[in-house]
């Protein structure tokens, strides 16, 4: 079955007693035992719930993995994955990664870690230590869209006795399947493209092999940051249009990136050629607040991957926890804006950005214009 078909049939045939096409929402915390020492496979919803199981099996299938696990957020999923490391273990991470991951690793878990440009395999090789147990990669990175050679990094990690963990939130299994490229574990903020409608917060892990999946399931149950049945249902519903949405996101993003690249007020566009995410820098930081105030179709909001186009200012939003000097080094400057390109008509998206940039430029010129004589 092709992926575009598999997403449509996510959760189907889960209720043979009624033939319900949509997966039922099992809004139950506990389940009756048939008899002493017997179980239906469902005892308590923190451990396992039928609606969540439908989602977890669907995600595992889409990523080509052995075990899928659904969480209450993407950060909860990453937190669970990091339980694979002990207190003395070393972690290598993408240097320009999502600010929430940086906050978790650096300020909360305080892991032994090294940040490197994971688009450069030689930098990853140099960062590996005898106690390195995992390499955590975003590809493309958030927000400057660097891409990693996943097969090469998988070989480097495995030679060092480490796992390769890939955040596949931006591309989804429609555009990239890291496990088939050699990764051991895939992480998603399912809030984003998997659910696709900005109406649910969720996370997911997919393990390549059963043993790793069992270890993670143990942590998932013990920590308890699981996804509830209502939200599991919403993610399953979103998955059904994933392939169609990703086609439109990508087609629109390519056209918007090309238009931005030719705009006189845009200094640089960051777009890897795939997916619906891009970033761009404007020629003057003074343009940023005016653009954000002027957009009408594009929504000035955090998050990404929904059907609506969102514009974000990473320096003060998604990456505020990274020190300012470090942000500058990584290219997350006060002139950088990030776009999650939606599935609207692309001409409307471009028209909105065009009007916002034109209005911002006009206001800037008026602010800096010399006063007329006698004024």
Alpha helices, DSSP H, located in the chain: 3-8, 50-63, 74-81, 99-102, 121-127, 150-159, 172-175, 210-223, 229-239, 242-261, 287-294, 324-330, 346-368
Retrieve residue 320's tokens.
Answer: 């505020």
What count of other Cβ atoms lies within 10 Å of the Cβ of residue 345? 12
Backbone angles phi, psi at 62, to 5 degrees: -65, -35
Is 167 annotated as catalytic? yes
Retrieve residue 108's tokens.
Answer: 């909360």
Backbone angles phi, psi at 308, to 5 degrees: -85, 145
Task: State the residue for tokens 């993407």.
Answer: 74
Burial letters 81-120, b for 16+ CB under 10 A, else e: bbebbeeebbbbbbbbbbbbbbbbbbeebebbbbbbbbbe
Backbone angles phi, psi at 272, to 5 degrees: -80, 0
Is 26 annotated as catalytic? no
Neighbouring residues of 1: CB distance < 8 A, sequence distance ≥ 6? 9
Retrieve residue 104's tokens.
Answer: 């978790």
Q: Which of 14, 48, 67, 192 is catalytic?
A: 192
Task: State the residue for tokens 């500058």.
Answer: 328
Neighbouring residues of 232: CB distance < 8 A, sequence distance ≥ 6? 49, 51, 52, 54, 55, 70, 202
Centroid of chain to Cα 151: 20
Q: Which of 14, 26, 52, 167 is catalytic?
A: 167
Q: How many C-alpha atoms does 156 have within 13 Å on its Cβ side? A: 24
What count of other Cβ atoms lies within 10 Å of the Cβ of residue 238? 26
Q: Which of 98, 102, 193, 313 is catalytic?
A: 98
Retrieve residue 281's tokens.
Answer: 């820098």
Is 129 annotated as catalytic? no
Spatial strand order in the sheet of 203-207: 67-71, 203-207, 185-188, 163-167, 132-138, 90-94, 112-116
Q: Which of 46, 103, 112, 364 is catalytic?
A: 46
Spatial strand order in the sheet of 336-340: 266-270, 277-282, 336-340, 310-312, 299-300
Is 98 annotated as catalytic? yes
* Residues carrying an active site annotation: 46, 98, 167, 192
């Amino acid at each position: 079955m092709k992926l575009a078909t598999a997403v449509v049939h996510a959760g189907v045939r889960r209720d043979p007693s009624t033939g319900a096409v949509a997966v039922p929402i099992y809004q139950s915390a506990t389940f009756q035992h048939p008899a002493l020492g017997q179980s239906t496979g469902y005892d308590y919803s923190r451990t396992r719930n039928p609606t969540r199981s439908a989602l977890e099996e669907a995600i595992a299938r889409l990523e080509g993995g052995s075990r899928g696990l659904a969480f209450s957020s993407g950060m909860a999923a990453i937190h669970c994955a990091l339980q694979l490391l002990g207190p003395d273990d070393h972690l290598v991470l993408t240097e320009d990664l999502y600010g929430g991951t940086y906050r978790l690793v650096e300020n909360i878990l305080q892991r032994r870690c090294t940040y490197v440009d994971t688009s450069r395999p030689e930098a990853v090789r140099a960062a590996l230590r005898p106690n390195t147990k995992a390499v955590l990669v975003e590809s493309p990175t958030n927000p400057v869209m660097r891409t990693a050679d996943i097969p090469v990094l998988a070989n480097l990690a495995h030679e060092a006795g480490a796992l390769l963990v890939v955040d596949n939130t931006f591309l989804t299994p429609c555009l990239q399947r890291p496990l088939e490229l050699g990764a051991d574990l895939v992480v998603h903020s399912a809030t984003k493209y998997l659910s696709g409608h900005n109406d649910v917060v969720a996370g997911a892990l997919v393990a390549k092999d059963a043993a790793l999946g069992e270890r993670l399931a143990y942590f998932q149950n013990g920590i308890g940051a699981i996804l509830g049945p209502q939200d599991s249902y919403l993610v399953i519903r979103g998955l059904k249009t994933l392939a169609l949405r990703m086609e439109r996101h990508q087609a629109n993003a390519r056209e918007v990136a090309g238009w931005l690249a030719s705009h006189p007020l845009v200094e640089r566009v960051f777009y890897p050629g795939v997916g619906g995410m891009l970033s761009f820098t404007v020629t003057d930081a003074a343009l940023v607040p005016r653009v954000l105030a002027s957009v009408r179709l594009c929504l000035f909001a955090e998050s990404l991957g929904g059907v609506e186009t969102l514009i974000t200012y990473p320096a003060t939003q998604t990456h505020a926890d990274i020190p300012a000097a470090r942000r500058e080094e990584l290219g997350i400057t006060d002139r950088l804006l990030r776009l999650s390109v939606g599935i609207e008509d692309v001409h409307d998206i471009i028209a909105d950005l065009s009007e916002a940039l034109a209005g911002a430029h006009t206001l800037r010129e008026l602010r800096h214009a010399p006063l007329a004589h006698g004024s």
